Amino acid sequence: MRNTLTIAGRELQAYFVQPVAYVVMTVFLLLGGWFFFALLRRFELVLEMYAALRSTSGMESLNLNQAVIEPLLHNLAVVLVILVPAITMRTFAEEKRTGTYELLLTSPIRIGELVAGKFLAAALFVLLMVLLAGIFPLILVIFGNPEVPVMVSGYLGLAFVALCFVSVGLFTSSLTSNQIIAAISCFGALLLLYVISWPAEAGEVEFAGLLRYLSLPEHFSQMARGVISTQDIVYFLSLIAIALFLTQRSAESVRWR
Amino acid sequence: MIEVKGLTKSYGDFLAIKDVSFTAESGEILGFLGPNGAGKTTTMRILTGFMPATSGTVLIDGLDILTNSLEARRRIGYLPENPPVYYDMRVEGYLRFVAKLKGVQRQSLDEAVELAISRCGLEDVRYRICGQLSKGYKQRVGLAAAIIHNPSVMILDEPTIGLDPRQIIEIRKLIRELAKERTVVLSTHILPEVSQICQKVVIINDGRVVLEKRLDEISKEGSLEDVFLRAIAKESTGGLLAEAELEEVEAGRSTSGSL
């Protein structure tokens, strides 16, 4: 446990000393703000339209959760597909390149502790990002009356998505000593997780059910809608567990060669 | 104490080292010599538990590096060929991190860091960022990291490379001092260094140990240079190859002699 915290502490420090943390957070929040602004403008426009048409049923069907927060969460998840590879690419690849991997592997720590430490640091970092993006619903709560539990569920979903992405990123970084290869392969894997169910949506194909189950947005959209089901939580947790297990094996693999 | 028995390491078809055996006693500095690519670094990486051998055993103070790995690794201070410093950390912060990693208890952390800093002469650079240090200082930071947890066994891969002459003298003095109650294995290309500080020499060529002798026995046979050249020439079977290697080594000797 102490070793895990030692590793995590150094990792977190590295995020903030190399200005990766600030750049990534700025981009994330700037884009988030832009999406929020655009969605809110559209919400206003549609509301004015219904008002002009005097359509009460239309106005009743319109709500902040569905029209603003839900699409915002999906957009933020897509931004994470691009940003998380940049966060995790250095975790193992840089250590291998600079030779500090030799220090870690000859120290009296287990590989599992090493992976856990790195995951903990990256996880805290992305959770901080998700937390800061909580400013948008906060604004809505102050100036409007959205349903808070639904938003909490959605942000919980986004947090799970971020953690899944981070664990996949750790895995791809552990495969190589080249940060660019780590980033690109992580990006590819995350995008694939995002679009894996497309063939199933285009029509009946074999394994359609399986593809839909594997698809990350499928589970995320449930939570963004405010539905927290064990099935989705199990999906997220097992994705994290599998990716971290593979990372542990891959980090250890220098010992097998 | 280090006991190495029958180490063999192969990468696919390539045999990096073959049946390497030697022992290093406590209080002894063992010089690990050999031409480039002879398998020195591979052997050291196996000794430190960075990677396992294909076959053979390594005992560190009687603990097997594979089966009793954590306990054995705790006793080893290792300076790899390239000092493993984090370029974004300050010297003091780095040493503190390494100390924690090596299992130094919290209450003795400050003390361990201070001792390592003063022993390696890092007082002036303690708040500098590792990445901005010169090669010599990086080497000293690496050495400080290797001794920070007061290990009983030290494995140093070319510890004096990149240092200026004054630093070389200081570091040699430090190694000699550290070796009083420890086992030290150091690899080097600089033969005079071996005759100055080592008690025992192991010469490795083409992945095989070709000589394991105490230095005082060697000095009876002639200079270390001659013994080294003979040992590695005997091994190379192709006459032409041996000659080429001899020339290479002699060229190396003349440069090291002028140092």
Domain borders along chain A are 2-255
Report the relative pairing of strands B76-79 and B29-33 from DSSP bridges.
Answer: unpaired
Work out the average pLDDT over B141-164. 90
Return the sign of the alpha-carbon dihedral for residues B156, B108, B1, A7. Answer: negative
Residue in A closest to B106 by C-alpha: A2
Q: Are B39 and B210 in contact (CB under 8 A)?
A: no
- What span, in angstroms and rounded, lies between the C-alpha atoms of B104 and B82? 23
Residue B249 pLDDT level (bands cut at 50, 70, 90): low
Please indicate whether, in this complex, the C-beta atoms of B80 and A102 are within 8 angstroms of each other.
yes
- What span, in angstroms and rounded, lies between the C-alpha atoms of B242 and B247? 9
pLDDT of residue B174: 87
**CATH classification for the domain delimited by B1-75+153-216, as one of 3.30.360.10, 3.40.50.300, 3.30.70.1140, 3.40.50.720:** 3.40.50.300
pLDDT digits (tens, 9 = 90+) for B202-237: 998 888 888 888 888 887 777 888 888 887 776 555
Neighbouring C-beta atoms of residue B161, cutoff 10 Å = 16
Give B175→chain A minimum CA distance, Å. 20
- What span, in angstroms and rounded, lies between the C-alpha atoms of B96 and B84? 14
Work out the average pLDDT over B4-22. 90
Q: Mark out the alpha helices in chain B (DSSP H runs).
A: 40-47, 69-74, 91-101, 109-119, 135-147, 165-178, 191-197, 215-221, 224-235, 239-257
Residue B242 pLDDT level (bands cut at 50, 70, 90): very low
Average pLDDT score over chain B: 85
Residue in A closest to B9 by C-alpha: A257
Which residue, B29, B81, B83, is CA-closest to B189?
B81
- Contact residues on chain A for B76, CB-CB shorter than 8 A: 106
DSSP reduced 3-state for B241: helix
pLDDT tens for chain A, 257 residues: list them: 889 999 999 999 999 988 889 999 999 999 999 999 999 999 999 988 888 988 888 777 888 888 899 999 999 999 999 999 999 999 999 999 999 999 999 999 999 999 999 999 999 999 999 999 999 999 999 988 888 999 999 999 999 999 999 999 999 999 999 999 999 999 999 999 999 888 887 777 778 888 888 999 999 999 999 999 999 999 999 999 999 999 999 998 887 76
- What span, in angstroms and rounded, lies between the C-alpha atoms of B76 and B94? 18
Give A121→chain B minimum CA distance, Å. 15
- Contact residues on chain A for B82, CB-CB shorter than 8 A: 98-99
Nearest CB partner across the interface for B100, out of A6, A18, A100: A6
- What span, in angstroms and rounded, lies between the C-alpha atoms of B106 and B243? 56
Please indicate whether, in this complex, the C-beta atoms of A98 and B87 are within 8 angstroms of each other.
yes
Nearest CB partner across the interface for B50, out of A7, A14, A106: A106
pLDDT of residue B37: 82
- What span, in angstroms and rounded, lies between the C-alpha atoms of B174 and B181? 13
Residue B256 pLDDT level (bands cut at 50, 70, 90): very low
Residue in B closest to A17 by C-alpha: B88
| Helix, strand, coil fractions of chain B, as percent rounded to 5 | 45, 25, 30
Percent of chain B with pLDDT over 70: 90
- What span, in angstroms and rounded, lies between the C-alpha atoms of B55 and A117? 32
Report the relative pairing of strands B153-157 and B55-60 from DSSP bridges.
Answer: unpaired
pLDDT of residue A75: 95
- Strand-pair partners of B153: B76, B183
Please indicate whether, in this complex, the C-beta atoms of A105 and B50 are within 8 angstroms of each other.
yes
Q: Is A30 on the interface with B (CB under 8 A)?
A: no
Work out the average pLDDT over B167-196. 87
Nearest CB partner across the interface for B11, out of A101, A106, A257: A257
Q: Are A145 and A137 in contact (CB under 8 A)?
A: no
Nearest CB partner across the interface for B52, out of A14, A17, A255: A255
pLDDT digits (tens, 9 = 90+) for B85-102: 999 999 999 999 999 999
> Does the pLDDT of residue B254 top 60, yes or no?
no
Ranges in chain B annotated CATH 3.40.50.300: 1-75+153-216
DSSP reduced 3-state for A54: coil
Please indicate whether, in this complex, the C-beta atoms of A98 and B74 are within 8 angstroms of each other.
no
Buried b (16+ CB within 10 A) or exposed e, B163-175: beeebbebbbebb
Q: Are B215 and B199 in contact (CB under 8 A)?
A: yes
Q: Is B53 on the interface with A (CB under 8 A)?
A: no
pLDDT of residue B223: 80
